[in-house]
Amino acid sequence: MTNLHRSIGAAAVIPLAAVALALIFPNQQAFLAQIAITALVVLSLDLVVGFAGLATLGHAAMYGAGAYGAALYALHVWAEPLTGLIVGGLAGATIAFLSALMLMRSHGLTFLMMTVAITQILYEIVNKSRAVTGGDDGLYGIVMKPLLGVFEFDFYGRLAFWYAAVVLWLVFLLLRHIVASPFGLTVRAVRDDGDRVATLGGNIFGHRVALYTLSGAIAGLAGALSAQTVQVVGLHSLSVTFSADILVMLVMGGAGRLWGGLLGALVFMMIHHYAAEIDPVRWMLFVGAILVAIVLFLPKGLFGGLEALVNRLRGRAPA
Amino acid sequence: MSALLETRSLSKSFGGLNVTNNVDLAISSGDRVALIGPNGAGKTTLVNLMSGALPVSSGEVLIGGDTVTHMSQQDRAHRGLIRTFQITRLFESMTVADILRVAAVQKHKAGLKLRWGRARTDLVERDVERVLADIKMQDRRDSPVTLLAYGEQRLVELGVALVMQPRVLLLDEPAAGVPQSESHIIMDAIERLPSDLGVVFIEHDMDLVFRFAERIVVLVNGGVFATGTTDEIAANDDVRAIYLGEADE
Ligand SMILES: Nc1ncnc2c1ncn2[C@@H]1O[C@H](COP(=O)(O)OP(=O)(O)O)[C@@H](O)[C@H]1O
Ligand SMILES: [Mg+2]
């Protein structure tokens, strides 16, 4: 298989999976849209956790900024979806950039604590700014104009799903390109040994800020998609709890690989959906048990495990 | 002409311990200087001070006549000062070629670029190929670095510095941990370095020191104990007593 074939194959996975999911779950398109949006935010988290090696519990700050930004824009400025998406991305990037200036000189536990602190400060600001943000009632009554002026958002979430899936697909293709770029290579080097990159003349701080801002922009896109398709934005989108949830999804799927984030979001959301239907009270126990099993038996997550399995079936030694 | 690299009364103490004591050194274009001295003499610390890995306690560091005492490692690297590490520090998730590529990307100031592009790819790959040939590791290019023997990892450590084509190169025990049978690959690569480059290398193997150095600086307890040509140092009784004698045992 040539690199070109592999690239085309990889690019086809998301569209094919989207069609398959739409056929298998014809009456659950709104749920599928949620999966695509969640996959997008997990993908953005993977940039920080997997590629830059920075464990964070504050990723919701950017997702929430995108959600509130897009919601306010739709309510007060213009309910056009694509410009709203851009507003969400910019909101996420802005929060990420400003917090990166504070965050990116710290490491490890200090970094982790600061991500929590920044998220909680933002949460409280939004919570207290009731007049603008609706406080703990959130923002609702978001009614979007047709996408591209043509496609109406429907009650069943059909358009929502395809809209989210296309954005996810485009971002995924962009990230595949970026991860393989000089910037992506340097980011991984900084993760492995930042000081060593500095001895070669690399600007560690600059790299981290740029990466965090990029990640924040994507998280902001996801937040905007959520606001536009669910039509409600609540404080949960800005919470440390949500940050932890998406971190769990990433670890389940496999951090450091773009596929890992996608798989993790899909599996987590499916388990959540069905386990919560069977037992709405204790479904988190299922998730916990599965997570423990993955951490113990599949240190590289579901995707790492899948890859090892495929390699074994092909009779190749694992890389 | 001012020296490529200079230290003036350079000192460093950790708590009460003076690890670098009033060191004056000047490295010029084409110099091959061996830095020797017993374990714990402060050789690595001196490299750390010159490269900017550690802040100085007092004194000055100059590159090309400019004071860089308070400049970051990154800025000193841009001024052509590159060092290697006594204990190999490579990007452990990467293959040999990717590690060299990381260095080449920094050299061409492309670390923030989102596209390779034809021209940049050519520049970077030319550096990578040149160094793979230099350290004779073309057949290892796609090996994950963690799967290499330690001696091979030392070669890659040197290779990273070779990619950078510095003006001054500080090599901290480049052959340490390399089996005797392979140390000639390292030494050959060092010997092929451009003649106008200033090289400081720390080395314990006196055969290698006498073969490659033109000048020797003997460091004892953080201070320059003796300095001179290889012949002068070889004939210096004090050095023999303190250092060479000890190394012979
Ligand atoms: N970061 C540090 N903190 C405290 N002491 C140090 C530190 N780095 C080196 N030293 C001490 O400085 C002395 C010189 O160390 P080093 O420069 O590594 O010697 P050499 O490379 O000549 O073997 C040693 O006694 C060492 O224990
Ligand atoms: Mg040392």
Chain B CB contacts of A198 below 8 Å = 72-74, 77
Other CB atoms within 10 Å distance of the CB of residue A292: 10
In a domain, B157, yes or no: yes
Q: How far apart are CA B123 and CA B125, in angstroms?
A: 6
In a domain, B80, yes or no: yes
Q: Is A257 on the interface with B (CB under 8 A)?
A: no
Give the tens place of pLDDT for each residue, A161-210.
999 999 999 999 999 999 999 999 999 999 999 999 999 999 999 999 99
Q: Under 8 Å CB-to-CB from B67, ≥6 apart: which residues?
A: B60, B61
**Taking every pair of C-alpha atoms in chain A, what is the biggest distance, in angstroms?**
63
Identify the residue whose tokens are 């841009």. Answer: B78
Domain extent at residue B174: 5-244
- Does the pLDDT of residue B246 top 70, yes or no? no
Is A248 in contact with A294 (CB distance < 8 Å)?
no
Structure-block tokens of residue A135: 């406080």
Q: How far apart are CA A212 and CA A202, in angstroms?
A: 17
Q: Are A201 and B74 a contacting pair at CB < 8 A?
A: yes
Higher pLDDT, A65 or A12: A65
In a domain, B103, yes or no: yes
Position A108 scores a pLDDT of 86
User: Which protein residue's CA is at the shortest distance from atom 18 of ligand 1?
Assistant: B44
Q: How far apart are CA B165 and CA B167, in angstroms?
A: 7
Residues within 6 Å of ligand 1 by CB: B 14, 19, 37, 39-45
> Which ligand number lies closest to the CA of residue B18?
1
Select from A92, A109, A1, A13 the least CA-distant residue to A55: A109
Position B249 scores a pLDDT of 40
Half-sphere exposure of B159 (CA within 13 A, CB side): 30
Position A98 scores a pLDDT of 97
Position B18 scores a pLDDT of 93
Number of domains in chain B: 1
Pick A185's closest partner by Cβ from B53, B72, B101. Answer: B101
**H-only helix segments in A25-150:** 29-46, 60-76, 81-103, 108-128, 130-133
Residue B177 carries which DSSP code? Answer: T
pLDDT > 70: percent of chain A: 98
- Does the pLDDT of residue B248 top 50, yes or no? no
Query: What's the burial of B245, exposed, middle or buried (CB within 10 Å: 0-12/13-18/19+)?
Result: exposed
pLDDT (average), residues A237-247: 96
> Which ligand number lies closest to the CA of residue B86?
2
Q: How many A×B Cβ pairs under 8 Å?
A: 94
SS3 B167: coil
Per-residue DSSP letters for B46-65?
Answer: HHHHHHTSS--SEEEEEETT
Mark which residues 187-246 of B lie under 8 Å from A by CB: none
In a domain, B161, yes or no: yes
User: Smallest CA–CA separation between A107 and chain B, in Å?
Assistant: 18
- Does the pLDDT of residue B24 top 90, yes or no? yes
Q: Are B91 and A189 a contacting pair at CB < 8 A?
A: yes
Position A278 scores a pLDDT of 83
User: Smallest CA–CA separation between B226 and chain A, in Å?
Assistant: 29
Half-sphere exposure of A276 (CA within 13 A, CB side): 7
Q: How far apart are CA A144 and CA A227, in angstroms?
A: 10
For residue B244, what pLDDT band results from cuts at 50, 70 and 90? low
Higher pLDDT, A108 or B162: B162
Give the tens place of pLDDT for each residue, A49-88.
999 999 999 999 999 999 999 999 999 999 899 999 999 9
- Does the pLDDT of residue B62 top 50, yes or no? yes
Give the tens place of pLDDT for each residue, A116-160.
999 999 999 999 998 889 888 889 888 888 889 788 888 778 899
In a domain, B249, yes or no: no
Position A2 scores a pLDDT of 67
Position B243 scores a pLDDT of 62
CA of B154 to the centre of ligand 1 (A): 21
Per-residue DSSP letters for A130-189?
Answer: HHHH-GGG-EE---PPPBTTTBPPPTTSHHHHHHHHHHHHHHHHHHHHHHTSHHHHHHHH
Pick A185's closest partner by Cβ from B74, B92, B102. Answer: B102
- Does the pLDDT of residue B96 top 50, yes or no? yes
Q: Report the atom number in ligand 1 closest to the C-alpha of B54.
A: 1
Residue spans of beta strands (DSSP E) within B72-197: 81-83, 168-172
Q: Under 8 Å CB-to-CB from A309, ≥6 apart: which residues?
A: none
The radius of gyration computed from the CA coordinates of chain A, to the nearest angstrom, equals: 19
In a domain, B15, yes or no: yes
CATH code, domain with B19: 3.40.50.300
Q: What ipTM score was computed for the predicted complex, to two decimals? A: 0.92
Q: Is A317 on the interface with B (CB under 8 A)?
A: no
Is B43 in contact with B221 (CB distance < 8 Å)?
no
Higher pLDDT, B180 or B43: B43
Give the tens place of pLDDT for each residue, B173-189.
998 888 888 788 888 88
CA of B21 to the centre of ligand 1 (A): 13
Q: How far apart are CA B80 and CA B142, in angstroms?
A: 28
Q: How far apart are CA B105 and CA B121, in angstroms?
A: 9
Position A279 scores a pLDDT of 81
**What DSSP element (H or E) covers B43?**
helix B43-51
Identify the residue whose tokens are 């290499």. Answer: B148
Position A1 scores a pLDDT of 52
Pick B105's closest partner by Cβ from A177, A186, A196. Answer: A186
Q: Is the pTM of this model over 0.95?
A: no
